[in-house]
Amino acid sequence: MNQTIETLLNHRSIRKFKDEKLTDEQLNTIIEAAQQASTSSYMMAYSIIGVTDEEKKSQLAEISGQDYVKNNGHLLVFCADLYRHTLYATPSEYEQMLSNLENSEHFLVSAIDAALASQNAAIAAEAMGLGICYIGSLRNQLDKVDEILHLPKHVLPLFGMVIGVPDHEPDLKPRLPKQAVYFENSYNRDHKEELAAFDKEIASYYEARQTNNRSDSWTDQMRRRFSKPMRMDVTGIVKRKGFNKQ
Amino acid sequence: MNQTIETLLNHRSIRKFKDEKLTDEQLNTIIEAAQQASTSSYMMAYSIIGVTDEEKKSQLAEISGQDYVKNNGHLLVFCADLYRHTLYATPSEYEQMLSNLENSEHFLVSAIDAALASQNAAIAAEAMGLGICYIGSLRNQLDKVDEILHLPKHVLPLFGMVIGVPDHEPDLKPRLPKQAVYFENSYNRDHKEELAAFDKEIASYYEARQTNNRSDSWTDQMRRRFSKPMRMDVTGIVKRKGFNKQ
């Protein structure tokens, strides 16, 4: 099979790494690949912060609650970035630009641009035999992450990514049946059977897997997830950083 | 060089396709690759609508203003999707879930999940020799796209992707210098020199390129982009669809 397709289909999140830092060459390739991703209207509305300072990594690991945020080959933080777009604006232009820049459209643009770049980074890393894990839990305390990385207004941290030489080999995690995710021409609201079938599949997976095995299903997980307020402060922080305001 | 890295670095958007539909096998591989992308807390909070109906494709091409939205090997629309997560909730659970589900955190989660899946789809397509172009211009009239695809509440169209056999070979488009995008440990606010250097590079690119050559720079493009209100209605539509409400 095509090597690239194989890499894509073989993805699993890696949460335990060997004690080896990425080489400069590996990191350069990862960043170069990230930068070549598609970008909305050439805005390239994202930045990447590589965190190498051990004290900062410890602080971010504490926010995330995951030790692998500290122990890895490299840590990247992907940010939505609309800061550089106004650097050459005159003061009066700047005022005019703000209401446009700060709307939901450009919040979406910058979040999507950052995500496309990050996924290229992930694939590049995996293609070189490295493993990765996305770190959404940086959003547990977005204001602190913002402070640690000294981000200006119009730069918003979205998520991290740890990269390194894998030190475990987790099972491939099942995905929803295609019939529940891909539709032709119109959305099919009648998902329940597909979800029930998936619940059975995922229950077997959780029972059989090597570590952290348990009795659970997907729909139960989602009910637990959404049953209590989570990261309700993200809304306010996003607006304070100058995104998603109108 | 590693084939996968080569594919990533060789990306250019394709806007003219041969008159060949994707095979079922190609499409299946693309969707399977999309589904294997990382997803926040296993939420898989996205859907993909494949549009094959010629009338619908014409309508979407009109919204986008691009003929290649109609003329391609396949058209995908990527949606943020928090619909299926409540399908098994009881009515009282559902009410409790809403304020959590509809916050900015889960708007971000679903947009990022959709983008990660889409970038895997893009790479899979390119790895098979196909070309792709993201279609952000569906957001010109998001309410119409929503109607055409019959999306329920908590499913929001974000962008399209056209895929097909390339019928042109555009130049590789330069990216911002790494120094303006990648920072170590702290954000570097002093971008102006890097942007000036990039403006020179991109001016030469625009002058020299085969089609649509012109005199322009990146900072000028961005000043034009943000000088006038754009897609200000996205905010309201997003909220009406049950996203980003609190």
**Has residue B197 got a pLDDT over 70?**
yes
Q: Are B22 and B164 in contact (CB under 8 A)?
A: yes
pLDDT confidence tier of residue B99, bands split at 50, 70 and 90: confident
pLDDT confidence tier of residue B36, bands split at 50, 70 and 90: very high
Chain A nearest CA to B214, separation (Å)? 16
- B29 contacts in chain A (CB < 8 Å): 5
Whole-number Å distance between alpha carbons of B87 and A222? 10
Q: Verify whether the Cβ–Cβ distance A175 to B218 is below 8 Å.
A: no
pLDDT confidence tier of residue A212, bands split at 50, 70 and 90: confident
**Has residue B210 got a pLDDT over 80?**
no
pLDDT in tens, B73-93: 999 999 999 999 999 899 988
Q: Verify whether the Cβ–Cβ distance B187 to A49 is below 8 Å.
A: yes
Q: What is the dihedral of CA B54, B57, B59, B64, to 10 degrees?
A: -160
Nearest CA in chain A to B126: A4
Percentage of chain B lying above the pLDDT 70 cut: 100
From B32, B88, B218, residue closest to A195, measured CB to CB: B88
Residue-level pLDDT at B1 = 65
Q: Which residue has the tokens 């209401």?
A: A99
> Is the CB of residue A38 less than 8 Å away from at least one CB of chain B?
yes
**Has residue A1 got a pLDDT over 70?**
no
CA–CA distances in Å: residue A150 to residues A49, A85, A153, A203: 10, 18, 10, 43
Q: Considering the domain A3-170+232-240 in this protein, what is its CATH number? A: 3.40.109.10
Give the pLDDT mean for A38-61. 98
Q: What residues are paired with B134 via a beta bridge?
A: B161
Q: Verify whether the Cβ–Cβ distance B53 to A185 is below 8 Å.
A: yes
From B127, B134, B158, residue closest to A2, measured CB to CB: B127
Whole-number Å distance between alpha carbons of A69 and A73? 10
> Is the CB of residue B75 less than 8 Å away from at least one CB of chain A?
no
> Which residues are CB-contacts of B1 (< 8 A; sequence separation ≥ 6)?
none
Give the pLDDT mean for A10-15. 98
Whole-number Å distance between alpha carbons of B107 and A244? 11
A173 class by beta-carbon count within 10 Å (0-12 exposed, 13-18 middle, 19+ buried) = middle
Residue B36 token pair: 């294997």
> Is the CB of residue B183 less than 8 Å away from at least one CB of chain A?
yes
Residue-level pLDDT at A113 = 98
Whole-number Å distance between alpha carbons of A64 and A144? 11
From B104, B180, B234, residue closest to A103, measured CB to CB: B234
Residue-level pLDDT at A234 = 96
pLDDT confidence tier of residue B193, bands split at 50, 70 and 90: very high
> Which residues are CB-contacts of B194 (< 8 A; sequence separation ≥ 6)?
B176, B177, B179, B180
Cα angle B102-B104-B108, degrees, rounded to a multiple of 5: 105
pLDDT confidence tier of residue A166, bands split at 50, 70 and 90: very high
From B103, B149, B235, residue closest to A246, measured CB to CB: B235
- A91 contacts in chain B (CB < 8 Å): none
- Which of these, A94, A72, A75, A82, lies nearest to A41 by C-alpha position? A82
pLDDT in tens, B142-186: 999 999 999 999 999 999 999 999 999 999 999 999 999 999 999
- B5 contacts in chain A (CB < 8 Å): 29, 33, 124, 127-128
Residue-level pLDDT at A17 = 98
Chain A nearest CA to B164, separation (Å)? 16
Q: Are A17 and A164 in contact (CB under 8 A)?
A: yes
> Is the CB of residue A50 less than 8 Å away from at least one CB of chain B?
yes
**Has residue A129 got a pLDDT over 70?**
yes
Rounded mean pLDDT of chain A? 96
Whole-number Å distance between alpha carbons of B77 and B54? 15
Give the pLDDT mean for A196-204. 95
pLDDT confidence tier of residue A35, bands split at 50, 70 and 90: very high
Nearest CA in chain A to B172: A36
> Is the CB of residue B69 less than 8 Å away from at least one CB of chain A?
no
**Has residue B246 got a pLDDT over 90?**
no
From B218, B223, B234, residue closest to A93, measured CB to CB: B223
Q: Which residue has the tokens 């996968």?
A: B4
Which of B1, B104, B227, B237 should be substituted to probe chain A, the one whose Cβ sees the most A Cβ atoms within 10 Å?
B104
Q: Are B149 and B64 in contact (CB under 8 A)?
A: no
Q: What is the DSSP letter of B67?
A: G
Whole-number Å distance between alpha carbons of A91 and A112? 28
Q: Verify whether the Cβ–Cβ distance A9 to B3 is below 8 Å.
A: no
Q: How many CB atoms lie within 10 A of CB A206?
A: 17
Q: How many CB atoms lie within 10 A of CB B16?
A: 17
The CB-side HSE value for A120 (13 A sphere, CA atoms) comes to: 29
What top-level class would CATH report for the domain B3-170+231-240? alpha beta
Q: How many CB atoms lie within 10 A of CB B55?
A: 9
Residue-level pLDDT at A209 = 83
Q: Verify whether the Cβ–Cβ distance A83 to B41 is below 8 Å.
A: no
Q: Verify whether the Cβ–Cβ distance B33 to A9 is below 8 Å.
A: yes
B159 phi and psi, to 5 degrees?
Answer: -165, 160
Q: Are A131 and A11 in contact (CB under 8 A)?
A: no
Residue B162 token pair: 């056209």
pLDDT in tens, A78-117: 999 999 999 989 998 898 899 899 999 999 999 999 999 9
| A113: Cα separation from own chain's centroid | 12
> Is the CB of residue A103 less than 8 Å away from at least one CB of chain B?
yes
Q: Are B199 and B205 in contact (CB under 8 A)?
A: no
What separation, in Å, do the N-terminal and C-terminal C-alpha atoms of chain A show? 47
Rounded mean pLDDT of chain B? 96
The CB-side HSE value for B46 (13 A sphere, CA atoms) comes to: 31
Whole-number Å distance between alpha carbons of A224 and A37? 35
The domains of chain A are located at 3-170+232-240
Give the pLDDT mean for A177-195. 95
Q: Verify whether the Cβ–Cβ distance B136 to A40 is below 8 Å.
A: yes
- Which of these, B159, B117, B107, B172, lies nearest to A115 by C-alpha position? B117
